[in-house]
Structure 1
Amino acid sequence: MTDSSQPPRGDVRGARVLVVEDEPSIADVLSITLRFHGFDVSTAATVRQARHLAEHVRPDAVLLDVMLPDGDGRELGRELRSALPEAGIVFVTARDAPAEVVGALGFGDDYITKPFHIDEVVARIAAVLRRTRPADVLPRRAPLRHGDLELDETTYTVRRGARSAQLTPTEYALLRFLVRNAGQIVPKEELLRHVWQYQHPAESTVVETYISYLRRKLGTLGPPLITTRRGVGYGLT
């Protein structure tokens, strides 16, 4: 899989996409890339989690792995089609037998086989959304704000007053999580679980690395925002 820097054609940004994938590395690539292209992404690793999120998030599209640890993704697809008839459903699987494809497309909107190119996933999600929901009625997310800091949810731009900076998808996801938890110190382990989906994070230094990237970029926009509680985590002043 490779990343893409080009947005999908057509204005489908802001649409809610539920990614159901039990392989953490694949789920991470999918969620970060889709967020980079302006989608509002939720992730689930099991059928149970997917049912819960589908009920509460009401996604516009579902990217659904066929083989899940606690059930068959195709059966979940049938349930979601019944519960969310207007949502687009795109299946992802390593199986490419014609019978599998035909069976899935009986109640899904598209079908992608592994290994896949990440550009193809973005393009197909966008195409399904354009078919299932006209672009001119897709929800547009309001900017996130904390003090004079504003995060544009469609362009991945950060502003403070008239000045702006471009963030990478991971930098943006980290800052967004800090903004959504402003007023408290977020433990490093929580950041790793929610931003990187790491399950055993004790020895990782990735948070420190990306905090330094954010400080460098945000430092060009105004006074320091990110505070460190040594041995605990990070927060916004």
Structure 2
Amino acid sequence: MSHKILIVEDEEKIARVIQLELTYEGYETETASTGTEALDKFHKGQWDLILLDVMLPGLSGMEVLRRIRSNDSIVPVILLTARDSVIDKVNGLDHGANDYMTKPFQIEELLARIRACLRMTSLLYQEKQLDIQISDLRIDEKAREVTRGGQTIELTPREFDLLLFLAQHPQQVLNREQILNDVWGFDYYGDTNVVDVYIRYLRKKMDHGFSKPLLHTVRGVGYMLKE
């Protein structure tokens, strides 16, 4: 599947050259010549990368970049500009650009930077896919963070481990012994009622105040996490 690139450039000849080169390399492309048009196409499409001229009629490239970043923190943006001062470059990068190309540039270098940005973005998407999501519940295993409906849920380490185990087996009923062995460890010799206690803690934090419960009790068997 080819990557989709939005080319935002008000100089028609430059935009056409870039579009021809990218199309030849196998990319799908569209162009925009103003900041307003760029934002309209950004919101209507799914883009893998955006080439963004800084000097645009109407909305400037920096303002377009700011608005893009308020909606999407991952899509890579490479700024294109005739300004080559360090201040301009730093300003662009501080606004959320991934890279900066000074005009005139060699198309081979632009293609190399596009490939580099796409590789980096692919790694970021892979990391995000490590998150577990069930309905509006999101679990970031790496950061050990939990949100539901965008609201942060504060959990103790044990509560997080319990939720993670349940989330790794969605729609599956897990009995107390299974939960104890995985969350507390095989060498745990305490009362199995500890599972019930922590389930109550967890349910109060992640289901209380929401219209649909996600943590369910299957009487006589165990517990399960499902939409």
Please report the TM-score for the alignment, with normalisation by the length of structure 2.
Answer: 0.53
SS at match of 2:47: coil
Which one of the candidate residues 91, 94, 101 is aligned to 2:79?
91
User: Partners in 1 of 2:18 and 2:118 — Cα distance?
Assistant: 17
| Aligned residue number for residue 130 of structure 1 | 119
Letter of the structure 2 residue corresponding to residue 110 of structure 1? D
Which one of the candidate residues 74, 87, 101 is aligned to 1:112?
101
| Aligned residue number for residue 52 of structure 1 | 40
Check if 1:15 corresponds to 2:3.
yes
Unaligned runs of 5+ in 1: 1-12, 138-237
What is the number of equivalent residue pairs in this alignment? Answer: 125
Which one of the candidate residues 62, 72, 82 is aligned to 2:70?
82
The percentage of aligned residue pairs carrying the same residue is: 38
Which one of the candidate residues 25, 28, 41 is aligned to 2:13?
25
Instruction: State the Cα RMSD in Å.
Output: 1.8
Whether the 8 Å contact between 1:19 and 1:62 is mirrored in structure 2 is yes
Q: CA, structure 1 residues 15+134, in 2 after alignment: closer, same or farther (shift >3 Å)?
A: farther
Check if 1:69 corresponds to 2:57.
yes
Greater relative CO, 1 or 2 (CA 8 Å, sep 6+)? 1
SS at match of 1:19: strand
Letter of the structure 1 residue corresponding to residue 120 of structure 2? R
| Aligned residue number for residue 88 of structure 2 | 100
Which one of the candidate residues 20, 23, 40 is aligned to 2:28?
40
User: Partners in 2 of 1:49 and 1:110 — Cα distance?
Assistant: 22
User: Partners in 2 of 1:22 and 1:128 — Cα distance?
Assistant: 23
Q: CA, structure 1 residues 58+136, in 2 after alignment: closer, same or farther (shift >3 Å)?
A: closer
Letter of the structure 1 residue corresponding to residue 116 of structure 2? A
Deviation at 1:84, TM superposition (A): 2.0
User: Partners in 2 of 1:135 and 1:98 — Cα distance?
Assistant: 28
1:85-234, aligned counterparts within 5 Å?
Answer: 85-106=73-94, 107-134=96-123
SS at match of 2:70: helix
Q: CA, structure 1 residues 38+136, in 2 after alignment: closer, same or farther (shift >3 Å)?
A: farther
User: Partners in 2 of 1:37 and 1:83 — Cα distance?
Assistant: 29
SS at match of 2:65: helix
SS at match of 2:44: helix
Unaligned runs of 5+ in 2: 127-227
Which one has a bigger Cα radius of gyration?
A: 2
Whether the 8 Å contact between 1:88 and 1:129 is mirrored in structure 2 is yes
